[in-house]
Amino acid sequence: MSRVVVPIGPQHPALKEPASFTLYLEGERVAATNVALGYNHRGIEKACEERPYIQDIYLIERVCGICSHSHSTAFIQAVEEIAALEVPRRGAYIRSIIGELERIHSHLLWLGVAGHELGFDTLFMYSWRDREVVMDLLAMITGNRVNYGINTIGGVRRDISKEQSEQILKAVDILEERTKFYIKLATEETTLIGRLAGVGSLSREMAVKFGATGPTARAAGVKRDVRKDDPYAAYSEVSFNVITDDHADVLGRTIVRVMELMESVKIIRQLIKQLPDGPISVRAPRKIPAGEAISRYEAPRGEDLHYVRANGSEKPERVKVRAPTLANLTAITHMIDGGYLADVPIVIAAIDPCFSCTDRMISLREGDRGTETLMDWEGLRNYSLEWYKKNRGIDMNKIHALR
């Protein structure tokens, strides 16, 4: 039987962002997969190096539209480590509260997307409706629904008042009740389990080998969570469980995510209860002393890693962002191969991919020789001018405005 080549992407209804998955089908089964990223490169790391730290916070926050707090916290933690700043306890608590609210909103969003990929639009509508509860909370506390802008070097920018604490606790009760419904759904609904069980298998060994993180790894039984392994913010002062599951498939990833919602609820209650008094931030210097630091953060999609090198000026010398999707992406061909075409969308969705957060510069390798071509700005410009002249017959140099 001859192979049929199906392109999923760069534009496809199953994908929320451009990415290209070329599937080689044998019947309805996938024989091989080719993944190509690079449609969303935004040069965000370079842009960070050209701006002062305080502007970088807002830039870094826009790495991801969903786990924005994760990225800004990871970046700020690295800067604080270099500058040897001690974040006041109340500030650390507020950071953790926002972080957990963000996890709830991200997991509910994922649940909806997963439902949509399976043609279960009712689940999509339900979970996104419930997500509004937590979005409203975030808007109340920070003033924004998505990019909260609450972090600053040395602490947070807004305090949580007593009334706000009460409202958070009230909303969290609603969320807990709804989460129980989703747990019931994920463990009992027949068609849902039929579509999720045994799909996109990633064994414990392979998860470790591919370096998967977050719910993808935890669903394979890998007990890895930065909040527990390397506690930051206020996580060392609360008790919670690291949820793992041994299904090692998409069903496992779903169960881990819905169970984590319960843990987040638990953490938020403890944080609000123990919220210490005191200042929420310390004053940070404009110029950060020379040094370097790596910071880890447990984002909803997995471990987020930021590296910052400072050179004593008010701008960082190097910023490196390793989004959790990059760690999980390597395992995706392994999970897709041998499965059905019908399962490809949900397998891709199950790592909760965020391709825009992941895209970095790509260097060109020439075949097997291993020689790399790196282009600087001028080289890239000349290449594009040549390309248009050769392939489209347009000489861009002649267009006055581009000169």
Partner 1 sequence: MSEVLVDLLKILVFPGFIFLSLYSLFVEYADRKLYARFQNRVGPPWFQPFADFVKLLGKETIIPHEADVKMFRAIPLFSLAAVCTAFLYIPVWGVKSLFPFNGDAIVVLYLLTIPTLTFFLAGWHSSSLFACLGSVRTLTQLFAYEVPLFMAVLAPTLLAGNTGNWSVSGISAFYGSHPLLLLVNIPAFIVALVAIQGKLERVPFDIPEAETEIVAGAFTEYSGKLLAMFRMSIDIEMVVVASLLAAVFLPFYPAGGPVLGFVIYIVKTLAIVFLLSAVRATMARLRLEQMVAFCWRILTPIAIFQIVLNLILKEVIKI
What token pair was written down for 44?
């965000």
Sequence-separated (6 or more) residues with CB below 8 Å from residue 240: 227, 228, 263, 266, 267, 270
Q: Does 194 bind partner 1 (CB under 8 A)?
A: yes
Name the residue nearer to partner 1 (CB basis): 126 or 240: 126
Q: Considering only 123-131, 168-176, 211-219, 293-301, which stretch makes contact with partner 1 by CB under 8 A?
A: 123-131
Q: Does 110 bind partner 1 (CB under 8 A)?
A: no
Asked if residue 350 lies in contact with residue 114, where contact means CB atoms within 8 angstroms, the answer is yes
Q: Does 1 bind partner 1 (CB under 8 A)?
A: no
Nearest to 88 by CA among 288, 277, 269, 287: 277
Spell out the alpha helix ranges (H) of 21-67: 44-49, 53-61
- Could you give the string, one character per residue 18-47, with x where binding to partner 1 holds by CB under 8 A and - elsewhere? ----------x-------------------
Query: What count of residues does the chain have?
Result: 403
Sequence-separated (6 or more) residues with CB below 8 Å from residue 64: 70, 71, 299, 323, 354, 356, 357
Q: Does 353 bind partner 1 (CB under 8 A)?
A: no
Minimum distance of partner 1 from residue 270's CB (angstroms): 31
Name the residue nearer to partner 1 (CB basis): 36 or 380: 36
Name the residue nearer to partner 1 (CB basis): 136 or 205: 136
Q: Does 174 bind partner 1 (CB under 8 A)?
A: no
- The CA-based angle 168-170-174, given to 5 degrees, is 110
The amino acid at 132: E
Q: Does 120 bind partner 1 (CB under 8 A)?
A: yes
Q: Does 129 bind partner 1 (CB under 8 A)?
A: yes
Which pairing describes strands 151-152 and 4-8: parallel, antiparallel, or unpaired?
A: unpaired
Q: Does 126 bind partner 1 (CB under 8 A)?
A: yes
Minimum distance of partner 1 from residue 354's CB (angstroms): 18
Q: Does 393 bind partner 1 (CB under 8 A)?
A: no
Selected binder of partner 1 within 138, 156, 168, 192 (CB under 8 A):
192
Instruction: Give the SS3 label for residue 210.
Output: helix
Q: How many residues bind partner 1 (CB under 8 A)?
A: 30
Kindly state the DSSP code that residue 146 receives in the 8-state scheme.
S
Sequence-separated (6 or more) residues with CB below 8 Å from residue 277: 90
Minimum distance of partner 1 from residue 195's CB (angstroms): 5
What token pair was written down for 153?
């070097």
Sequence-separated (6 or more) residues with CB below 8 Å from residue 281: 87, 88, 91, 152, 154, 155, 156, 157
Q: Which residues 301-340 are close enough to bind partner 1 by CB under 8 A? A: 340
Rounded Cα–Cα distance for residues 271 and 275 (Å): 6
Which pairing describes strands 291-299 and 4-8: parallel, antiparallel, or unpaired?
A: unpaired
For residue 10, cis peptide bond before it (omega within 30 degrees of 0): yes
Selected binder of partner 1 within 88, 91, 112, 115 (CB under 8 A):
115
Task: Classify burial at 32, counting beta carbons within 10 Å of its beta carbon; exposed 0-12, middle 13-18, buried 19 or more.
Answer: middle
Name the residue nearer to partner 1 (CB basis): 30 or 262: 30
Rounded Cα–Cα distance for residues 76 and 235 (Å): 17
Q: Does 6 bind partner 1 (CB under 8 A)?
A: yes
- Could you give the string, one character per residue 363-382, with x where binding to partner 1 holds by CB under 8 A and - elsewhere? --------------------
Selected binder of partner 1 within 74, 118, 250, 267 (CB under 8 A):
118
Q: Considering only 122-130, 217-225, 242-250, 289-297, which stretch makes contact with partner 1 by CB under 8 A?
A: 122-130
- Could you give the string, one character per residue 195-234, with x where binding to partner 1 holds by CB under 8 A and - elsewhere? x---------------------------------------
Which pairing describes strands 151-152 and 371-373: parallel, antiparallel, or unpaired?
A: unpaired
Q: Considering only 131-139, 186-194, 317-325, 371-379, which stretch makes contact with partner 1 by CB under 8 A?
A: 186-194
Q: Does 361 bind partner 1 (CB under 8 A)?
A: no
Minimum distance of partner 1 from residue 322's CB (angstroms): 29
Residue 198 backbone zone (phi > 0: left; psi -120 to 50: alpha; other: beta): left
Q: Considering only 125-133, 201-209, 288-296, 395-403, which stretch makes contact with partner 1 by CB under 8 A?
A: 125-133
Sequence-separated (6 or more) residues with CB below 8 Å from residue 394: 388
Selected binder of partner 1 within 133, 341, 375, 385 (CB under 8 A):
341
Q: Which residues bind partner 1 (CB under 8 A)?
A: 4, 6-7, 12-14, 28, 115-123, 125-126, 129, 189, 191-192, 194-195, 340-345
